[in-house]
Structure 1
Amino acid sequence: MRAYLSLLLASGIAALGQRHAGTFSDPPSSERIRFRYWLPDASVDPEVVKADVKSVGSVGGGGLEFLAFFEYGGHVGSMPSGADWTKYNFGTPSFQNLFRAALKAHHENYLVMDFPIGPNQGQGVPAETTEDGLQLDLVPFTAQVPRNGVFNGKIPGWGTGDLIAFTSALVLQEDSHSFQAQDKFSVKNVTYGEYTLREASLDDHTQHVDKKSGKAALNLPSVSKGTHYRVFAFYQKKSLNKNLDFTPDVKMEDNMFRNGSYAVDHFSAAGGQAIARFWEKHILANGVKDLLISAGNYAWEDSVEVVSNITWSQSFPKRYQSRFGQSINRYLPLFVFKQNNLSLQPADPGNFHCMLENEIQTNRYLNNFHLIVADGYAEYLLSLRSWAKTFLGKELSVQPAYNLPMDMSGAIPLVDAPECESFGFKDDIDLYRRFVGPAQLSGKRVISNELGAIPMTAYQYTIPRMLFSMNRGFAAGVNQYVLHGGAYTGNYYGTTWPGHTGFAYLFSEAWSEKQPAWHNGLKDALDYAARLSHVLRQGVPKIDVVRYSKESITNITTRPAPADLVKDGWSYTYISPDNFRLRSLEVSDRQLAPTGPAWGAMSIDASESLTIDAVKRLRTFAKSGFPIILSGGSPGFYPVGQDKVEDFQHQLSALKVSANVYQVGAGNVSQHLTHLGLTPRVQGKTKGTWYTTWYEAGDIDYAFAYNDVHDSAGELILSTCSTPYFYDAWTGQRAPVLVYHQEHGKTIIPLSLSGNQTVIIACSKKLSKEIPTPRRHVVFAPPNVIGTASTSRFSILLHVGHSDSIQTACLDNGEKITIDGTAVPQQFQLQNWNLTVERWEKPKNFSDASVIATKRNTTHILSKLESWDQLPALVNASGVGHYSTTFDWPLSMVPTTMWNYLRGLLSKIRTAGSVPFPVQAGMPLLPTEVGLTGPVTLTPFK
């Protein structure tokens, strides 16, 4: 950090972190939710941008992820009439000025700003087509050789690019296959040829091709009926794929920015260097660098959303030769099918699919290829990370390896703040744990999540839905959220009220003060999230069990979670053998990675596959005293390099008979963990499902628990006898737990949790100096004790609800306390509500997108509480509902989403000149549930 101190002093800008350290009650900006801000282009009003930044801070946000959107790079919507994406492109003087204004606004409001490394998802930067480091593609061609084996002429595809390889192979079997796949917004019929090749016949003829004419002469063996030879040609070329693509107007300046922005090579350092050169030349001048050092947070890149024929970089042949001792050329036909962008190109997997007659050998070469893809991607990430650190003093956050033909687990440790997403991971706790495991093992303090991108829910995304997704990530170990996304609130070309909406209404959400929830509930939710993030960044997460998982290509699809571990309250995460190289992965005191997750055991399902190196490492773990449990049978062989099946079987047999290695039936891992004398660090004993994690932070340990969908009650058992304290993430208050008992080195706390509720309990012998803590506590309380409080070291208050008889509570010194709830009224439901609706509607000038809304009030009498879509007078209304009853009860205020009102206007609405996607797609525009729904139950206590 010394290298940057002089810059800060010279510019007179104080580091933000020094001015706002933060506490649990009021966490710093760096621990608060940021908004992915859809900047239409750099022509927008900087005063509006600064106001949007300030507004984010006013509702408890931490700042913006300042994304130059350009209608998703021109891929969902195009440059609207009147806009000039050449003049206002990423990196232009206009962009630099706006970027500076945004940074300054963050600094002035004590916020922090993430900065995408390029426009759109950050996959590249504006460049000349001759620039080094742009994305490369490998384009394949094939042709059948006559049965006499003679090929004489120009090789297929000549002139496409630089020839990398010209090969041949004997085809033992040929088939044609068809399937249907999603192609953007429609379904496409895909047909491809499938060739089974004889491995011994694979041959490289690249040296026999005339470099000028592209002709070659081959005399291959004649073949029997039903077989034939094929030749394959592979050409390397710049893809010139764009992460910002638009058709420039003839009046626009003729310069580099006219080309939009090109994707860079993600599989070598050259791609990262191209990005660094661009930033240093076009953005980090005129005071921007100093401001970025002060108010900037993460350099960021989204999931890799670029397409190709075959994932490729110029370094691959050399990498393959160096790693496996053989040329890649012979095996290139095997790398044609489904080796590009797996998420974006399901309908473009490749024109042909080659495999060997031996499945193990096919998988071997594919696994080899995926390893060099991962090696190249690692070089790219490390080049970016090094530049961000050395040049700016900033860390790198990336959604690593999404969509790419490689194992994501190996890439996660390579960035400072790896990011997953609620959309791709489907709010699935088990899937999140596959991501979190490698991150925690590699000591990542921040594990980020892009939250809230849900198709077809623009202006329909509610705070409860946000909290549901958020809590499931927290339960897995996620501790940072970036909301998808924040809206620019000013006017923009071709845009009507309610304003610019990213993705043309395809995804949620356009967060801004044009949402009724912005000043009516959102701050409570963001403060809650910040406090949870604050706690989950304290100390080191300690996990009970690690599960082995190896995939050649990461498949982010929902699969069954280990039901026995979940049911019995064990925390667990996953790691891959790609993580076995991390220095923290050692055994001490029968724990794996003792300074990190400190796993107590590893389980390996029979459905998994092991490399020989992995088996050897597992034997080392077991020899050091670490328990390994093989569940449901023997795992399979993962072929790579020169590994042989025979050697694998020998190593696996040796592993099975090793001390500390156990074999159990499927679903019996939890039972055997108990047999080994292990217990969860935090265990929920309940008929529901509680997900738990334990965090150790010096003098304070933290227990986190999340109750799944349904209400449930039970006991939370903590492996400590320190004094427990509730940390209330909703209020920021800390208070001693007053009902619990301790035995056998454990603390048992009775809890009743609502669905989707979390709880944080801190355990410490020193917190009593900060938090008034009574000398005594209750070890048993009857069910009608519904709450507790304390005002000093000498008092305990019990909130007593109704009971039909007198009950007894017991203190830790054995003293019994009489609890009389017979005179307390029973709980009852509130009815006959008065509802005043503050309707949010379009302005008189529908083209003025800067207006929040025109507001008017209507009143309604409700005999029972129902969603507004069930009330004829409100089915098309949006806004804020003010609820009250004749009972002496605080006023209830409930914001709605804007959807029910907007759906009636959607055909007239425009965003950046585009018709909202739901209208384009002809989808039904149905109302959503909003408002206060009943019944509301009042529970008296004394």
Structure 2
Amino acid sequence: MTHSKARLVALPAAGLLALSGLAIAGAAEAAPPSGPDVPALTRATFADPPASVRPKYRWWQPLAHTDDKELADELEQIRKAGGGGAEVAPFSVEGAGNNSPEFLKTYGWGTPLWAQKTRTMLAAAKARGLGLDFTIGPRWPATVPTVNDVNDPSAQQQVVFSHEFRKGGTSRSGALPANFNVAPPAGAKKTLIAALVARCSDAACATSGGPRMLDRAGVTDVTSKVDAQGGLTVDFPGDDKSTYALIAFYQAPSGQSLSGYTATGTNYALDPFSEAGAKATTDFYDEHILTPDVRKLLAQMGESDLFEDSLELGTTQKWTSELVDQWTKRRGYSPVEVLPALAGAGDQGITDRPFFDFGGGVGARVRTDYRQTLSDLYIRNRLDVLREWAHEHHISTRIQPYGIPVDVAEAASHVDVPEGESLAFGQSVGAYSNVQDYRVVATGAHVSGQPVVSDECCAFSGSVWGSTAGAGSDASNLQAVYRGLAGGVNQVVWHGFPYLSRGPAGAGPQSAWPGMTYGGNTSYSEAFGDKGGPNWTDYRAVNDNLARMQLVLRQGKPRFDLAVYWQDFGMNGTGTTGSGSNKLIQSSSALASAGYTYEYLSPALLRRKDASFSRGALFGDRSAYHAVLLNDQKTMPVDAAEKLLRLARQGLPVVIVGEVPSAVPGNGDAARQDARLRSVVSDLLRQRGVVRVASEADAPDALRRLRVTPAATPHDGSGAILDVRRQAGSTDYYYLYNQTNTATAQKVTLTGDGVPYRLDTWTGKITPISDYTSGHGTVTVPVRLAGNDATVIAVTPRHDSTFTGRPPSPRPPGGQRAAAVPQPVRLDEWSLSVDSWGPGPSGRPGDTAHKVLGPVTVKAGADGALPAWSAITKANGHPVDLADASGVGTYTAHVTLDDGWKGIDRTALDLGTPVDTVRVNVNGHDLPPLNQADLRHVEVGRYLRPGDNTITVRVASTLLNAVRAAPGTGASSRAPMDYGLFGPATLTPSGGDRPVLAVEALEPELPLADGGYNRATVLVTNASGRAANVTVAASAAEGISAQPERGRVTVPAGGSVTVPVGLRDKGIASGASTLKVTARSDAGPSAAAAVTLRHSGDLALNPGGTPFPRVVADAGQDRYPAKLAVDGSPSTFWVSWGRAAGQGPTPADPVRYGVDFGAPVEFGSVVVGGRSNYGPRDYGVQVSSDGRTWRTVATATDTPKEGGTTAFAKVSARYVRLDITRSWDGVGANVQMSGFSVRP
């Protein structure tokens, strides 16, 4: 059943008062409605977003072993930190005896005390205007206390098989073979599904080590001949030249279970494919948890979410009792005689190397039908059943619909709030990036009209107490959140907020200081809350920022340029299905670089009745896709092809990349269906609006020929910026995200009429943009973003109390003038005091002692670098020791500015990348909340003055160093973090009453190898009221050629221009040097910026993820992105797409990995760092001048498992890649590389 239900929203009292007033203001403004459960964006709601759009917290609790007052206090902590609600997640209780039946009869999940705690938490949340959600059961996967018998029919099932081989012309009698491929759990009952006799295609199949090939026409069902005792007598036809297999398939419980959560002991995972599995949960809630008081509170609050985590159901091969019947009904044929194709197919049913198989592709088709049927049953029997029940109780479903074979996009359309997660979808920016996985989930919500797409963020492995807010570490929360938002997310659920203590005093390390975590003091991040890190108090600003972004991203309707046809049953993340898809379009693709936005339509979504073409778009009243793209799609169901043909005839543009569909994916009536498909595709190719191209790189041009242009077009073509567009009435909202690690500054053309406004999500201010140009239904605006940073822009013709005011304009020259424009001032000396945190005298959770360390004088080195706290030790000559300190550091600098600073009212304070969160005070004035993802541009000009100035920077660290130093935490082996200001800290004048130039290096550091090329980019800003003619010059160390691509530029008044500087290294193979870029205006002012160049002998080395050398690779694994092969670390590695046997590289389907140097360079060898048993085995080395036409310069076969060097005659080329045709992976799942080097 699919239906939508309005989500009622509980708001805090202040939010209710604000909205009651805003309803009138909104009417006066004619603000467009955003939906029944989405508040309209007004100036007031943007300044203080309501709870319904604020981030939530996963709230880990030690079952019902909690204190009611502490529960209320922790909800208050969440409210004060800017959270909008919590998700209750029960964990076991720490300590001896606390998992015994006696203990769990009182405190276990589902007990009367648990129901009482549920009421208590709902009441406390309601009183604070917060939402409150509940996980479906204790931990995961879903269990209930009533399913504690391994043979309970509602428990999860598996299929196992046994076999024996016999020669033709022989007979056998007796029990069926018992050599099960997987031993069923103890006490499990086995139910015979089928007994089959199958003729081998090869007489040697009995001794074959690979798939044992069977003759499909030679399969006989002998199930009816099995007697009541499980015996079978059968004669095998033929003679001894033929071989037969007797194969018995059984259904058995999987045995997956949880213990230690309920008094009934072992509770078995529920069957996700049967209605009985879902009803076991709903019945238990009805009888034991949803008391009258709880039901009343749920009704009063509007809705809570019932949350189910991703389906991590172990390695058993999935089955359910009605699978044979449903397969027959849905696929049009009985699966019984083709069951051998499923033998050993794995937990996802995707292997290309099962124990048995059929030739001619029949086996692969059968496995597709198997996965499709499981997907159908999961949606019908679980998602729909849970959703219908939930709506009857004022509850919504929030589910991560992946982890098993499932059409994720379709499944997401059957959930009220579909959810993804940063952990399973990857955490690193690479050629693939997790953005695309989120888009698969978001598609289901968008086409079904659900307003919220959720994200479990940000679980970093081994980073508890150590994750940062901004860009100070790999475990940075904002970069993970922002990538999810770029994928369609508009609700963050933080992972997570632990209860104060996991058990009574002395129970264990999580019942001592600092307190409970997800899984101990070396586990996943994070442990938010008052007992958490010193940076916790700054998460109010972080959550305000995210709430404003989420408010924007729920306005109106999503809008996309195109839909990519996607036909799969899983995604490419560990913890999803483990299968992956090489049909997802990478975030570094030509399409993405050109600005095109896209989602993924599965066949089921294309079949929807509302998948119609209207107003020039598919799903015109939902996502409004203006074209459909097929990405080398070799298979397609006939009805999906027919629907696409009908849409194309109605005018929907279609771009086909590479191969065209020529076969249906399934096995039912395959020959006739294949023929019909080819006929339909032939008709499709004849349509006027259908274009076929050779590669995805050609797709942008094809779309432009079809008059499909991106709604947002970045001008520099770097692919740095990804965008999300929402349209509400006449207003277009754009979320722009820099997916790279380096800053970008460029112009972006946005579709929309009217005036562009910058929506500052850190301060809550809405300001018109002055520096823009208008086109036909477009505006072009300048965008500057730090690496992994994001911004929001609205384009609207509205002029009301939300979008009003005049854009700021540069001040014309005049007024107070000085003899010289002031130069940047470096702040090299600071006084530092640290409020150090550590365990209090009781040693109990939350008992944190504070000790003031310092003040200590901190001085910068010649390069402006300031020492981290770890270097401020008595051994290094300081009066205090901060090596193990966590806390809040207060840095104070005194600076005297001369009279040249008169009239300067805009000055950027560059703080570099402090760790972690920062607040700034200048001359007694607290600055507004700072963008924690970009602390290089802190505006302080209005607070400075000629003469003496005092600048105070407060840096709050994480708690990690204190935790690792405290006794008994078990964290001493963790690496310490560097905290504090690292410098250089600089004041740079950027505007005032006379001409001021500023130069900023967008990449402060670049790799530049001996014989190599790179490109630095500087941003030249003119803060005067007149255009400035500027000369740009570059200088570098001897042996380095540095040439600006534009030596003369005109910088508009109040505007900026980017200037690339081409770099060539002609002999420096190690160490570092400095590039200096100077800009000088004809009117006199000048400015300069420096870039550190890191030299090596490896032309491919790029540890910082700078634009060049740029990795060019086929899709990889989210957790092992392509950049990890060129980061210089042998411990990190890239993994190609594929996790199942047969998905790895072959001559017919190679895997490619290489780099784009940015310009032609000379080289004569490549060095491959393999991974033992997984590295490249056979490959060609190919080069190209344009990235499209390639030639092979070397061939390597049977290369060492650990890698090696392949040399060839020196060539000059811009691109080089490996064309990998075989790996050392024995089952051929993928290929892995720990290093890829290119040598001159």
TM-score (norm 1): 0.84
Is the partner of 1:138 in helix, strand or coil?
strand
Are 1:722 and 2:722 an aligned pair?
A: no
Partner of 2:420: 420
Residues 429-473 of structure 1 deviation map (CA, whole Å, 9 limit, x = unaligned): 233223323332222210111101111111111111111111111
Partner of 1:812: none
Partner of 2:230: 214
Report how far residue 88 of structure 1 moved. 1.5
CA contact (8 A) 2:833 2:891 kept: yes
CA contact (8 A) 2:191 2:251 kept: yes
Change (3 A) 1:877 1:601: same
Report how far residue 904 of structure 1 moved. 3.2
Report how far residue 176 of structure 1 moved. 10
For residues 128 and 433 of structure 1, the distance between their equivalents in structure 2, rounded to whole angstroms, comes to 36
Partner of 1:187: none
Residue of 234, 246, 269 corresponding to 1:231: 246
Partner of 1:498: 514
Residue of 550, 566, 569 corresponding to 2:592: 566
Partner of 1:165: 194
Once the two structures are aligned, what percentage of the paired residues are identical? 28
For residues 660 and 480 of structure 2, the distance between their equivalents in structure 1, rounded to whole angstroms, comes to 36
Is the partner of 2:107 in helix, strand or coil?
coil
For residues 869 and 206 of structure 2, the distance between their equivalents in structure 1, rounded to whole angstroms, comes to 54
For residues 818 and 472 of structure 1, the distance between their equivalents in structure 2, rounded to whole angstroms, comes to 46
Partner of 1:408: 408
Partner of 1:937: 986
For residues 893 and 678 of structure 1, the distance between their equivalents in structure 2, rounded to whole angstroms, comes to 49
Partner of 1:783: none
Residues 586-607 of structure 1 deviation map (CA, whole Å, 9 limit, x = unaligned): 1124321111221121221225
CA contact (8 A) 2:693 2:699 kept: yes
For residues 383 and 824 of structure 2, the distance between their equivalents in structure 1, rounded to whole angstroms, comes to 59
Q: Identify the range of structure 1 (683-692 vs 152-161) with the bigger mean alpha-carbon deviation.
A: 152-161
Are 1:138 and 2:167 an aligned pair?
A: no
Partner of 2:454: 448
Are 1:540 and 2:547 an aligned pair?
A: no
For residues 64 and 932 of structure 1, the distance between their equivalents in structure 2, rounded to whole angstroms, comes to 33
Is the partner of 2:283 in helix, strand or coil?
helix
Partner of 2:713: 683
Is the partner of 1:680 in helix, strand or coil?
coil
Is the partner of 1:834 in helix, strand or coil?
strand
Is the partner of 2:158 in helix, strand or coil?
strand
For residues 894 and 610 of structure 1, the distance between their equivalents in structure 2, rounded to whole angstroms, comes to 56
Bigger share in helix: 1
Partner of 2:72: 50
CA contact (8 A) 1:170 1:201 kept: yes
Q: Identify the range of structure 1 (592-601 vs 516-525) with the bigger mean alpha-carbon deviation.
A: 516-525
Are 1:471 and 2:471 an aligned pair?
A: no
For residues 306 and 142 of structure 2, the distance between their equivalents in structure 1, rounded to whole angstroms, comes to 12
Structure 2: give runs of 5+ residues left out of the alignment: 1-7, 20-38, 40-44, 181-187, 428-433, 471-475, 574-579, 861-865, 874-880, 896-948, 993-1240
Are 1:660 and 2:689 an aligned pair?
A: yes
Are 1:737 and 2:745 an aligned pair?
A: no
Report how far residue 237 of structure 1 moved. 3.4
Partner of 2:140: 121
Change (3 A) 1:97 1:160: closer
Partner of 2:492: 481
For residues 99 and 109 of structure 2, the distance between their equivalents in structure 1, rounded to whole angstroms, comes to 17
Change (3 A) 1:205 1:764: same
Residues 557-578 of structure 1 deviation map (CA, whole Å, 9 limit, x = unaligned): 5864462112211112222212
Partner of 2:601: 575
Change (3 A) 1:820 1:672: farther
For residues 124 and 311 of structure 1, the distance between their equivalents in structure 2, rounded to whole angstroms, comes to 17
Letter in 1 for 2:359: E
Residues matched between the structures, number: 850
Structure 1: give runs of 5+ residues left out of the alignment: 1-7, 179-191, 249-255, 778-787, 789-795, 801-805, 807-816, 910-915
Letter in 2 for 1:336: A
Change (3 A) 1:706 1:51: same
Partner of 2:827: 830
Change (3 A) 1:510 1:13: closer
CA contact (8 A) 1:67 1:119 kept: yes
CA contact (8 A) 1:13 1:291 kept: no
Residue of 88, 93, 96 corresponding to 1:66: 88
Letter in 1 for 2:144: V
For residues 353 and 438 of structure 2, the distance between their equivalents in structure 1, rounded to whole angstroms, comes to 34
Q: How does 1:735-774 map to 2 (within 5 A)?
A: 735-774=767-806
Change (3 A) 1:384 1:820: farther
Change (3 A) 1:388 1:449: same
Are 1:305 and 2:312 an aligned pair?
A: yes
Is the partner of 2:83 in helix, strand or coil?
coil
Residue of 721, 736, 743 corresponding to 1:705: 736
Report how far residue 374 of structure 1 moved. 0.9
Q: How does 1:370-409 map to 2 (within 5 A)?
A: 370-379=371-380, 380-390=382-392, 392-400=393-401, 402-409=402-409
Partner of 1:883: 891
Report how far residue 332 of structure 1 moved. 2.2
CA contact (8 A) 2:147 2:155 kept: no
Is the partner of 1:460 in helix, strand or coil?
coil
Change (3 A) 1:575 1:875: farther
Aligned CA-pair RMSD: 3.2
Q: How does 1:30-49 map to 2 (within 5 A)?
A: 30-49=52-71
CA contact (8 A) 2:419 2:453 kept: yes
For residues 850 and 532 of structure 1, the distance between their equivalents in structure 2, rounded to whole angstroms, comes to 32
Is the partner of 1:139 in helix, strand or coil?
strand
CA contact (8 A) 2:97 2:103 kept: no
Q: Identify the range of structure 1 (614-623 vs 522-531) with the bigger mean alpha-carbon deviation.
A: 614-623
For residues 300 and 199 of structure 1, the distance between their equivalents in structure 2, rounded to whole angstroms, comes to 44
For residues 352 and 363 of structure 2, the distance between their equivalents in structure 1, rounded to whole angstroms, comes to 17
Change (3 A) 1:286 1:607: closer
For residues 96 and 323 of structure 2, the distance between their equivalents in structure 1, rounded to whole angstroms, comes to 36
For residues 96 and 517 of structure 2, the distance between their equivalents in structure 1, rounded to whole angstroms, comes to 11
For residues 160 and 386 of structure 1, the distance between their equivalents in structure 2, rounded to whole angstroms, comes to 32
Q: Identify the range of structure 1 (818-827 vs 579-588) with the bigger mean alpha-carbon deviation.
A: 818-827
Letter in 2 for 1:406: V
Change (3 A) 1:87 1:313: same
For residues 119 and 456 of structure 1, the distance between their equivalents in structure 2, rounded to whole angstroms, comes to 23
Partner of 1:3: none
TM-score (norm 2): 0.65
For residues 272 and 148 of structure 2, the distance between their equivalents in structure 1, rounded to whole angstroms, comes to 17
Q: Identify the range of structure 1 (862-871 vs 621-630) with the bigger mean alpha-carbon deviation.
A: 862-871
Report how far residue 898 of structure 1 moved. 1.5
Report how far residue 369 of structure 1 moved. 0.9
For residues 507 and 114 of structure 1, the distance between their equivalents in structure 2, rounded to whole angstroms, comes to 21
Letter in 1 for 2:426: K
Partner of 2:1152: none
Partner of 2:128: 109
CA contact (8 A) 1:267 1:313 kept: yes
Change (3 A) 1:768 1:496: same
For residues 335 and 872 of structure 2, the distance between their equivalents in structure 1, rounded to whole angstroms, comes to 67
Report how far residue 364 of structure 1 moved. 1.2
Change (3 A) 1:546 1:819: farther
CA contact (8 A) 2:342 2:354 kept: no
Residues 680-726 of structure 1 deviation map (CA, whole Å, 9 limit, x = unaligned): 21222236411112211124321221123321212121222212222
Letter in 1 for 2:373: I
Report how far residue 824 of structure 1 moved. 4.8
Q: How does 1:488-637 map to 2 (within 5 A)?
A: 488-490=499-501, 492=503, 493-494=507-508, 495-504=511-520, 505-556=522-573, 557=580, 560-561=586-587, 563-606=589-632, 609-635=635-661, 637=663
